[in-house]
């Protein structure tokens, strides 16, 4: 009795499902009695054995399967994009860093080759904790190329934090000891740590101790870091005191120095902006 009721319910569900699948241009295959898609001419039904009986159930025809796959791929792409945006929001602590990409890189910048290869071989660099030290004059592209590396790795969904010591010092100001330790530990959760403009922070005892703690903890974690600085390599190799020596020794041991010289990109950009503003203000671009 129960079996007959179950069978009847299943039959009704089967009929309702199959009827709902039928589109206006679909047809029944004369040989198998199964529904065929009027668009791609492949089966929309199949026969299965269930509870000892043969039943007809719906299945995806070729065009429906292709549509579903495209929708899945679109959804996955949107999720990936959202994930990358979230990672960039967390990892790039200055809005200007968002625009630092290899697509906007000056092809004549010789160090761009090193930066690109660092990204391409990051898995190898990460295994040995190998970082980079971008040093040289002001405005020569150190921060820009460091940002290119950060953005390229983030596009691959590799966690990167790009910050500076003034931002770190500001973040931990006023924190209790346990909160401070937790914040400093959080810096090592990123696969790459980029610290921009080392040396612009004030050389107080507290600052030097904090800078040393950040570098030392990163050093002990075995994870790579990139430092950009205007400090000359001679000064890094011959620190003025023990406090600086402790910091520089760890950086020099773990980071390969890359010199940035040549033209000042920042000055050129500033001159270009001034020229454009001058033309606008003087009406040089106006047409009669």
The pLDDT tens digits of the residues spanning 22-72 come to: 777 888 888 888 888 988 888 888 888 877 778 888 888 898 888 889 888
Report whether 176 contacts 145 (CB < 8 A).
Answer: no
DSSP E strands in the chain: the ranges are 27-28, 35-36, 45-50, 53-58, 131-136, 160-164, 192-198, 225-229, 255-260
Angstrom distances, CA of residue 118 to CA of 148, 250, 252 = 11, 20, 17
The string of pLDDT tens digits covering residues 70-116 is 888 888 888 877 877 888 888 898 889 999 999 998 877 789 999 99
CA atoms of 167 and 141, how far apart (whole Å): 21
3-class DSSP state of 1 = coil
Q: pTM of the predicted model, to two decimals?
A: 0.71
Give the pLDDT band of residue 269 (cuts 50, 70, 90): very low
Q: Which residues of 182-216 are buried (b: 16+ CB within 10 A; e: fewer)?
A: eebeebbebbbbbbbbbbebeeeeebbebbbbbbe
Token pair recorded at residue 4: 């007959």
Q: CB count, 10 Å around CB of 7?
A: 15
pLDDT exceeding 90 applies to what percent of the chain?
Answer: 44
Token pair recorded at residue 279: 């033309």
Average pLDDT value for residue range 164-191: 90
In angstroms, how far is CA 257 from the centroid of its own chain? 25
Domains of the chain (ranges, CATH numbers): 2-59 (no CATH), 79-269 (3.40.50.300)
Across all residues in the chain, what is the average pLDDT? 83
Token pair recorded at residue 103: 């697509």
Query: Which pLDDT belongs to residue 214?
Result: 94
Residue whose C-alpha is closest to residue 268's, from 147, 141, 146, 142: 141
Query: Which pLDDT belongs to residue 160?
Result: 96
Average pLDDT value for residue range 189-218: 92
Average pLDDT value for residue range 123-144: 92
């Amino acid at each position: 009795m129960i079996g007959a009721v179950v069978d009847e319910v299943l039959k009704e569900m089967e009929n309702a499902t199959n009827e709902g699948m039928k589109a206006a241009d679909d047809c029944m295959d004369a040989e198998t009695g199964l529904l065929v898609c009027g668009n791609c001419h492949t089966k929309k039904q199949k026969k299965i054995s269930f509870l000892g009986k043969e039943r007809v159930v719906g299945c995806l025809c070729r065009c429906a399967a292709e549509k579903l796959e495209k929708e899945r791929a679109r959804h996955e792409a949107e999720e990936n994009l959202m994930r990358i945006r979230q990672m960039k929001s967390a990892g790039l602590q200055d809005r200007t860093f968002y625009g630092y990409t290899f697509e906007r890189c000056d092809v004549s910048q010789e160090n761009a080759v090193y930066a690109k290869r660092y990204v391409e071989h990051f898995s190898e660099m990460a295994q040995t904790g190998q970082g980079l030290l971008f040093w040289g004059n002001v405005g020569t592209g150190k921060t820009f190329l460091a940002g290119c590396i950060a953005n390229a790795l983030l596009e691959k969904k590799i966690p990167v934090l790009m910050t500076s010591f003034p931002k770190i010092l500001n973040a931990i100001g006023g924190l209790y000891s346990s909160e401070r330790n937790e914040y400093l530990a959080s810096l090592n959760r990123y696969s790459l740590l980029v610290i921009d403009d080392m040396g612009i922070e004030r050389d107080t005892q507290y600052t030097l101790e904090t800078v040393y703690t950040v570098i030392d903890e990163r050093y002990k974690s075995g994870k790579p870091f990139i430092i950009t600085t205007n400090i000359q390599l001679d000064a890094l190799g011959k620190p003025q005191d023990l406090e600086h020596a402790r910091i520089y020794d760890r950086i020099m041991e773990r980071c390969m120095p890359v010199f940035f010289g040549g033209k000042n990109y920042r000055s050129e950009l500033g001159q270009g902006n001034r020229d454009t503003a001058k033309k606008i203000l003087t009406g040089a671009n106006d047409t009669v």
